Amino acid sequence: MTLPAPLTGVVPPVCTPLTPDNEVDTASLTRLVDHLVSAGVDALFVLGSSSEAAYLPDRHRRLVVDTVVRHVAGQLPVLAGAIDMTTLRVHDHVDAVTAAGADAVVVTAPFYTRTHPAEISRHFRAVAAHSPVPVFAYDQPVSVPLKLGTDLVAELASDGVIAGLKDSSGDEGAFRASLIATRGIPGFSVLTGSELTVDSALAMGAHGVVPGLGNVDPEGYVHLYRYAKDGDWDRARAEQERLCALFGMVGVGDAARMGGSSSALGAFKAALHLRGVIDCAATAVPQVPLSPSEVERVGKYLAAAGLL
């Protein structure tokens, strides 16, 4: 389907349910898609960071995008990450996800290698020239690890290279600068990857939101988005604060025993399992599983938020 321009609303980055032996659990995946679609989300984003894209081999990636695109069957747009180190490798992922029917691709700056704004610009221009579908720039400094500059985003946007920005930087000042700098560009979409400042981002004029926590509580973000669109900032703030409390689950994992990814993605998956959406909470190797007592704490977050 043709992507709306600008893309707006709630676009959850879809978790990738796995079996205990780290195969893609397509039955759970389609249940998760149903859980999200029935909550009223506006589009889906597969193969992003919350999808454990960095952990999925190419055959898993293909299975995920294929499963989701088929299951969604055009009801709403599917964006797909094409996450890899540099241009030619990204091209191959673009080919794979668009062959499967993705409606847009989401691409980071080059990583692993030391890079430069001029090279990042060349990278996005090459990917856009190669891609049959619109390209979203993915600003993910925790992973890449560099911040896309506002000037670069504005240049790529006004040249029609990118159709939108998915900003997971957590730097809301720079996010606003990118919003203002691209405001006059027809159809350009600015999405926040934050879970915690969605009301702020929408008040600034953000088009949409891509919250990992939206896997666990898609209705929450759908409500929050609607309150913001209605200008009901008091209810938006209250809903946001409820979600902030729920987001506390990302810290259940013992930092002496595991990294931030294991804890946060482990908590999202444990919550989806506790809510009955997916069959198994396993995260991909080499992530460390949550302990039973850590999973229990996830349950308490769910209960406190009225989700269990």
User: What residue numbers does the annotated binding site for pyruvate cover?
Assistant: 210
Task: Read off φ and ψ for residue 254, nearest 5 degrees.
Answer: -70, 115
Q: How many CB atoms lie within 10 A of CB 133?
A: 20
Q: Which of 37, 204, 280, 304 binds its own copies (CB under 8 A)?
A: 204
Q: Which two tokens stand for residue 250?
A: 């990302």
Q: Is 138 a catalytic residue?
A: yes
CA 20 – CA 283 distance, rounded (Å): 8
What torsion do the CA atoms of 53, 78, 237, 142 make, to the nearest 10 degrees?
A: 20
CA distances, 214 to each of 39, 128, 211 (Å): 10, 28, 5
Contacts of 224 (CB under 8 A, 6+ apart): 198, 199, 202, 209, 236, 239, 240, 243
- Binding to its own copies (CB under 8 A) within 14-33 occurs at 22
Region binding its own copies by CB under 8 A among candidate stretches 8-16, 34-42, 173-181, 292-300? 173-181
Is 103 exposed, middle or buried, given 0-12, 13-18 or 19+ CB atoms closer than 10 A? buried
258 binds its own copies per the rule CB under 8 A:
yes
Nearest distance in Å: CB 187, its own copies:
21
Question: Which residue out of 55, 166, 269, 301 is catalytically annotated?
Answer: 166
CB of 276 to its own copies, least distance (A): 27
Q: Which two tokens stand for residue 74?
A: 């055009």
- Binding positions for its own copies, 34-73, rule CB under 8 A: 49, 54-58, 60
Q: Say what the alpha-carbon torsion angle 199, 202, 207, 212 is, to the nearest 10 degrees.
A: -20
User: Site residues for its own copies, window 260-289 (CB under 8 A)?
Assistant: 260-262, 284-288
Binding mask 97-116 for its own copies (x = CB under 8 A): -------------xxxxxxx
104 bridge partner residues: 79
* Candidate list 194, 250, 273, 295; residue touching its own copies; CB under 8 A: 194
- Written as six digits, the tokens of 159 are 């040249």
Kindly state the smallest distance separating residue 148's Cβ from its own copies, in Å.
14
Helix or strand holding residue 294 (H, E): helix 292-304
Residue 166 near its own copies by CB under 8 A: no
Residue tagged active-site, from 55, 112, 138, 147: 138
Instruction: Rule CB under 8 A: choose which of 91, 226, 235, 275 binds its own copies.
Output: 91
> Should residue 237 be labelled a site residue for its own copies when binding is judged by CB under 8 A?
yes
Among the listed residues 6, 19, 30, 119, the single contact to its own copies using CB under 8 A: 119
Distance CA 275, CA 217 (A): 10
Q: Beta strand 104-108 with 208-209: parallel, antiparallel or unpaired?
A: unpaired
Measured from the CB of residue 281, what is the shortest distance to its own copies in angstroms?
A: 17
Both structure tokens of 59: 């055959």
| Whether 227 is catalytic | no
Residues that bind its own copies (CB under 8 A): 22, 49, 54-58, 60, 83, 85-89, 91-92, 110-116, 118-123, 126, 142-145, 170-174, 176-177, 180, 194-197, 199-200, 203-204, 231, 233, 237, 241, 244-245, 256-262, 284-288
Q: What is the set of active-site residues?
A: 138, 166
